[in-house]
Structure 1
Amino acid sequence: MTDQFAAAPEETVFETVPVWDPFVRAFHWALVVLVCGAWGLGKWGPADMSLHFLLGYFIGGLVVARVLWGFVGPRTARFASFVKGPGAIARYGRKLVSRKPSYTRGHNPLGGLSVVLILGLLAVQVGTGLVSDPEDYLNVGPFADWVGYDRAVQAVDVHETVANLLLILTLVHVAAIFWYRFWKRENLVTPMITGRARLPVGRAADPRK
């Protein structure tokens, strides 16, 4: 017989809390536009890549600003809050197949890893663009003379390789958004627009977890 006095299942109580500050949101969407534009111009743009270079300068400025913000910004923007070691990343990865939402206030360990990878690749991409020499006498990087002719030519190959790696990471990022939305039933896009997320009250919503 069922105990009529047994405790009813505890219902999860939610609250809407701030997650992403205005700078992080502006950085994210500006980077989407600029990287897509620069990548497209690099693949199918005109012979004169002046606009490609201009977008690259903006991307470089954004990367520098984001790195600085990772040390002085709000808690969820700081590297210390989301850059985790291999153990934490592996533990979180094992839970990725679960249909339960992660309810992470900020970047989860895998998301933090992707942030570091993307920022690192963008830094390499901007750096190689600045010193590259495609031997077309037109689109030479402004600092190509600093590294010598041979390295300037090699920088073009690195630049193209990193562009493909960034494309792969971008596709993985988009796939992850769909995975969370339809498998884990967790919306990651809206908080990056509004800055706020609906999270459970208590431990799961603690930004230190």
Structure 2
Amino acid sequence: MPAASDARVRTWDLWVRLTHWTIAGIVVWNLFGPTDQLHRVLGYVAAGLVGLRVVWGFVGTRYARFSAWWPTPSHLAEYLRSLAAGKPLHHVSHNPLGALMAIALWLLVLALGFSGWLMRLDAFWGEDWPQDIHTWLSIALEVCVCVHIAAALVMSVLTRENLIGAMLTGFKRQRPDRDTSH
């Protein structure tokens, strides 16, 4: 149960939540649906949304900006120490490991869009390697998505904060006594 001093703060703005859930839906569809024209279009839409989200990381709201959650080596080390001690530091925005996962997921979506585009070029007609790269990237994305979901569930229990709910509502707790956001 949150302490009396815990306040709810709007962390994830509407654009962050819309891009997150739209990309998530596209990824699920493209990983398990047919590989047809819709697959290609949705892949490009997902890559475009990632690109727009990156722009939002520079000009967006306070907690959407990279300056609020960029995973520097010192922040990662500090966070890993707090996890090892069983007392994970509170972050209003992404914690450093969550930030690394967000970056990895975005890079994989962009790489999948690029490799999908390469597969359609006449220059690579009959070549297997673009398809092989695309397949390996999709497997890497599947693994990262599973780790991302599992981590959100585990960290929700460890921190006693519903992280999935926060990505739906936009609100997280702000704990002035333990908050490490920049």
The one of 190, 193, 197 aligned to 2:172: 197
In structure 2, the CA distance between the partners of 1:81 and 1:198, relative to structure 1 (3 Å rule), is: closer
**2:150 is equivalent to residue 163 of structure 1:** no
CA contact (8 A) 2:89 2:180 kept: no
Shift of 1:98: 4.7
Shift of 1:149: 2.3
Partner of 1:91: 78
Count of matched residue positions in the alignment of Structure 1 and Structure 2: 180
Shift of 1:185: 2.1
Partner of 1:29: 21
Q: Which sits farther off after the overlay, 54-63 or 91-100? A: 91-100
Query: Structure 2 stretches of 5 or more lacking a match?
Result: none
- Which letter maps to 2:178? A
More helix as a share of residues: 2
- Which letter maps to 1:17? V
Query: Structure 1 stretches of 5 or more lacking a match?
Result: 1-10, 133-140
Shift of 1:152: 5.4
| Superposed CA RMSD | 2.1
**2:69 is equivalent to residue 78 of structure 1:** no
Q: Normalized against structure 2, the TM-score is what? A: 0.89
Identity among equivalent positions (%) equals 32
Partner of 1:137: none
1:65-114 CA-partner distances (Å, limit 9, x unpaired): 11111111112111222122223212212322455463311011111111
Tell me, in whole angstroms, the C-alpha distance in 1 between the residues paired with 2:134 and 2:110.
11
CA contact (8 A) 2:19 2:49 kept: yes
The one of 141, 152, 156 aligned to 1:177: 152
> Which structure would you say has the larger RCO, counting Cα contacts within 8 Å and 6 or more residues apart?
2
Tell me, in whole angstroms, the C-alpha distance in 1 between the residues paired with 2:7 and 2:159.
19
The one of 1, 18, 37 aligned to 2:10: 18
In structure 2, the CA distance between the partners of 1:98 and 1:179, relative to structure 1 (3 Å rule), is: farther
Partner of 1:39: 31
Tell me, in whole angstroms, the C-alpha distance in 1 between the residues paired with 2:111 and 2:79.
28
